[in-house]
Structure 1
């Protein structure tokens, strides 16, 4: 009997050492969760047998339980690395079967799918449409699928439709005077800076994404609270000699405090016929009017170019020098994919060379009622089992689901110092049980030698 008790103790201590050794071996494994050997005593007795003098029959390994505590999150600088801060698992497609992992070291395969080192594809929710908000209502949460990046796609160009000008015009300026006549210039000659007081320029884009320079020329009138503004594009062809007084002209009036008098100022839309400006690429600027479309209109859109809206509500006339506070517009050129951004809600944004970001989808997170019931598969993967319950799918940061930290990985939750101490304890247990067997052997030899 003592031999069996000692043998069970050796087996238990050996199992404890194996579990500890496995933990130590995976100290550097991303997303690894340590295990704990749990033991139960053994009693061998007949049914209904009860005795105060009954002795146990040893020990057995009752369970090898995984501990799903949070591992340290370490920054990597790689945008494709993702870590879950909190509960949940990444959902992976393994040739049609779903597996779950905490290891977020991802990469992109030749087809643009986000995969791990085993080729399993990361699952997520596709975006319903391109958006700027980050609410889960904009994702098709019932349509779980493979995350794929548009490697060969471009962000299309958008023609400028609105320009915002926020500048300060010096109140000390005076009306430009022609020295040859002693009178005000009758028109603005954009090639002669003496005919205007100041100018400000910005880049706008046509419908094909070509950059074009637009300049606003500011001329003080005889009225100290009034300015005339001329808007023009560079590249007029054939160039007049010289181009004088562009068609896009309006007058601004200020109050005595230097603020724009919006009731006395009317800003007409700016309209440019790009057939008169280099490059002659057949593009338009501003939104096309589909109501003017004809059978010969390209793409079914209007034949006439749209009009650019100019917002001058931020223009002032103060005593300080000329200055630019803001000159912006809403158009952009076409762009190629340059990288990815993932926010804490798991929303994946594609960054393009034109400065635009487009939403591709949202990383899905799975959780379980009993994570310790998951079946270990190796390669940092778990599978659903009867003990774990069904997966609960959701979005990062919602309810019990952890948030996503991009450019970071969750390290193993193994405490190496603790494991080394535990290994010493398991070694002592093994030696003690071996001593039990050797002692039983000595007792047996004594009886035989009697």
Structure 2
């Protein structure tokens, strides 16, 4: 009968209208996925021939979810998140049950959890260092609002922890000639006991081309209160004795002769095409003492480098033992960096020639440096004070290295000679208020362990064709006395001095950990014929700060922005997918539950495998095509009317049969 078919058609059309109406009602629902009514015909079971069987109507076989991508709309809420591609958010209800959603309209609750409709968003947490804990089961993400603690510069675990400064140093700038340089000799003594060795000093000096040479000065006790002075340059030719020994009046007395002695050494290598101006050196032992004592004091070596390229090697606060035999010289060693950044060693050896008289010799890079007049002697009085032989002048012709060695403060005391360590300076500290004492300068802020910022100023002085000296100042204090050097090849690329260790010279007034120590990297620094400019400046220290905002990357990583300019990972949003998303069970509130038909949820992170990416500050609109739904509504209406007409026609046929009686 036609009534059965018509009635089933009315039911199917009504269901179709229900689905279309629900889609239209949710056209503006964020994350909503439209449904589609699916129909099937109905046949009665029969044993009759199938070629004459007529169906008995239709039925709604399924209402299938359609998980096509919806449009992405930007919002003003940075916590709004849209999924671009496959995947669902996992939501955790107050009872701990899971559901899944595409609705990314999130906000923070009073405890800092990211929530939607009282459902908490799941993901990976991060530890206090900002490292994701990916090995754990994803939990509800909680945004910690506590402050981020301070970190001292150089305190991170990064391989390049510290300060990075990349720049261009102007190759067109002239070489700066400097005044006095100091080489500190610590823990060294000039012993004057019988059988001890000469005292050697080693430092480095530069010629007018900026090339380095090693100067060795050797003091040897020749007699009580008398020391011979020998010099050697670049380790060649052996030690040459100066004309006047260093003589003291008495142990503890002043120098009586040999206080200043000239030494000359001609360079063995040809002078550069642009010429070499002689360097004048004086060995200066003024103020040295020869005093009997149980221990010998440490000393310093000073190189005075004037505009005329006269350099003084200063040796002070060191002691020669009056009991030292003639046969045992003592050597002081230092180093010097030339204008091209080449390191040279200076050895100054003192050998006792007579009582209170020591003869110096000088070696530079292992080569002897002739002393004029020869021999030079350092003389002490009976009180151990140097009375002669300092400084010792070493003057050369064009192409020669000329210098002086100053043993200011050297004393003669009873006790064994002990060699010490040497620290060098090629130039004196720059004067911040005198731009002529440096070529370029720039500043950076660094932080101590309590987050207190300090200004670190870098001064760059061109000391050679391809060499620059680097001095630093901390909070406006006098620049540190131990400089660094950066050197370049002929193409202007750095080939030396890319990394320096730095220790602050003054305690922090905040009471933070002292001293502040970190590495400074000049990686990427060049020397081109262009104006000075800083291309990169970064450091890993910071003050403490409170959270000021959040940002979410396409990979789901949540970054906290802090008032100290730092960003730190707070967590990562995870996504889930299913073998059959259409098998998910709708729960309402734009959420679905896992079911047998959908299979188990599969965990992933945004942008990996087949998972989509995230877009922060946006939401995914409903995937409903309203125009299509209106057309489907008309179709459903016509279908309903047609099926009603089938019933009406069947009624008219029955009425005709009734009227036949």
TM-score interval (norm. to shorter): 0.7 to 0.9
- Aligned partner of 2:441 among 179, 196, 199: 199
Shift of 1:258: 4.7
**1:88 equivalenced with 2:75 (yes/no):** no
What does the per-residue CA deviation read over 1:355-392, in whole Å, with 9 as the maximum and x for residues that have no partner? 32222222222222221121111110111122222222
**1:440 equivalenced with 2:650 (yes/no):** yes
In 1, Cα distance between equivalents of 2:81 and 2:4: 50
- Aligned partner of 2:633 among 423, 447, 450: 423
What's the C-alpha RMSD, in Å, of the aligned pairs?
Answer: 2.9
- TM alignment of 1:242-253, pairs within 5 A: 243=478, 245-253=479-487
Shift of 1:39: 1.8
- Aligned partner of 2:134 among 140, 143, 158: 140
In 1, Cα distance between equivalents of 2:37 and 2:640: 14
In 2, Cα distance between equivalents of 1:125 and 1:144: 5
Q: Which of 13-22 and 156-165 deviates more? A: 156-165
Residues 312, 53 of structure 1: alpha-carbon distance in 2 compared, 3 angstrom cutoff:
closer
1:282 is aligned to 511
Residue pair 1:214, 1:231 contacting (<8 A) in 2 also:
yes
2:60 is aligned to 61
More relative contact order, 1 or 2 (CA 8 Å, 6+ apart): 1
Residue pair 2:503, 2:516 contacting (<8 A) in 1 also:
yes
In 1, Cα distance between equivalents of 2:499 and 2:623: 64
Q: Which of 204-213 and 392-401 deviates more? A: 392-401
Alignment length (residue pairs): 408
Residues 203, 444 of structure 1: alpha-carbon distance in 2 compared, 3 angstrom cutoff:
same
Residue pair 1:38, 1:62 contacting (<8 A) in 2 also:
yes
Shift of 1:131: 5.6
In 2, Cα distance between equivalents of 1:266 and 1:40: 77
Residues 321, 387 of structure 1: alpha-carbon distance in 2 compared, 3 angstrom cutoff:
closer
**1:214 equivalenced with 2:456 (yes/no):** yes
Shift of 1:307: 2.1
Residues 195, 35 of structure 1: alpha-carbon distance in 2 compared, 3 angstrom cutoff:
same
In 2, Cα distance between equivalents of 1:186 and 1:142: 58
Partner of 2:559, secondary structure, is strand
Residues 164, 88 of structure 1: alpha-carbon distance in 2 compared, 3 angstrom cutoff:
closer
In 2, Cα distance between equivalents of 1:256 and 1:371: 66
- TM alignment of 1:245-264, pairs within 5 A: 245-254=479-488, 258-260=492-494, 262=496
Shift of 1:210: 1.8
Residue pair 1:80, 1:105 contacting (<8 A) in 2 also:
yes
Q: Which has a greater percent of strand?
A: 2
- TM alignment of 1:18-417, pairs within 5 A: 18-45=18-45, 48=47, 52-95=51-94, 96-116=96-116, 118-127=117-126, 130=129, 139-150=133-144, 152-161=145-154, 162-167=162-167, 168-175=169-176, 187-221=429-463, 223=464, 225-234=466-475, 236=477, 243=478, 245-254=479-488, 258-260=492-494, 262=496, 269-275=501-507, 280-284=509-513, 304-417=514-627
Residue pair 1:156, 1:335 contacting (<8 A) in 2 also:
yes
Residue pair 2:498, 2:523 contacting (<8 A) in 1 also:
no
1:289 is aligned to none
Rg larger in 1 or in 2?
2
User: Could you state the TM-score of these two structures normalised by the residue count of structure 1?
Assistant: 0.81
In 2, Cα distance between equivalents of 1:411 and 1:12: 29
Residues 367, 318 of structure 1: alpha-carbon distance in 2 compared, 3 angstrom cutoff:
closer
Residue pair 2:113, 2:141 contacting (<8 A) in 1 also:
yes
Residue pair 1:90, 1:365 contacting (<8 A) in 2 also:
yes
Residues 227, 4 of structure 1: alpha-carbon distance in 2 compared, 3 angstrom cutoff:
closer
Residue pair 2:480, 2:505 contacting (<8 A) in 1 also:
no
In 2, Cα distance between equivalents of 1:316 and 1:336: 38
In 2, Cα distance between equivalents of 1:217 and 1:409: 53
Shift of 1:328: 2.9
In 2, Cα distance between equivalents of 1:41 and 1:313: 76
Shift of 1:60: 1.9
In 1, Cα distance between equivalents of 2:136 and 2:435: 62
What does the per-residue CA deviation read over 1:409-439, in whole Å, with 9 as the maximum and x for residues that have no partner? 2221211111111111111111111112222
In 2, Cα distance between equivalents of 1:7 and 1:72: 39
Residues 281, 444 of structure 1: alpha-carbon distance in 2 compared, 3 angstrom cutoff:
same
In 2, Cα distance between equivalents of 1:447 and 1:231: 115
Residues 200, 425 of structure 1: alpha-carbon distance in 2 compared, 3 angstrom cutoff:
same
Shift of 1:259: 4.7
Shift of 1:274: 4.5
Partner of 2:446, secondary structure, is strand
Q: Which of 26-35 and 353-362 deviates more? A: 353-362
In 2, Cα distance between equivalents of 1:66 and 1:267: 62
Residue pair 2:91, 2:120 contacting (<8 A) in 1 also:
yes
In 1, Cα distance between equivalents of 2:448 and 2:73: 45
Partner of 1:215, secondary structure, is strand
Residue pair 1:128, 1:140 contacting (<8 A) in 2 also:
no
In 2, Cα distance between equivalents of 1:18 and 1:209: 64
Q: Which has a greater percent of helix?
A: 1
In 2, Cα distance between equivalents of 1:427 and 1:316: 78
In 2, Cα distance between equivalents of 1:305 and 1:86: 53
User: Could you state the TM-score of these two structures normalised by the residue count of structure 2?
Assistant: 0.57
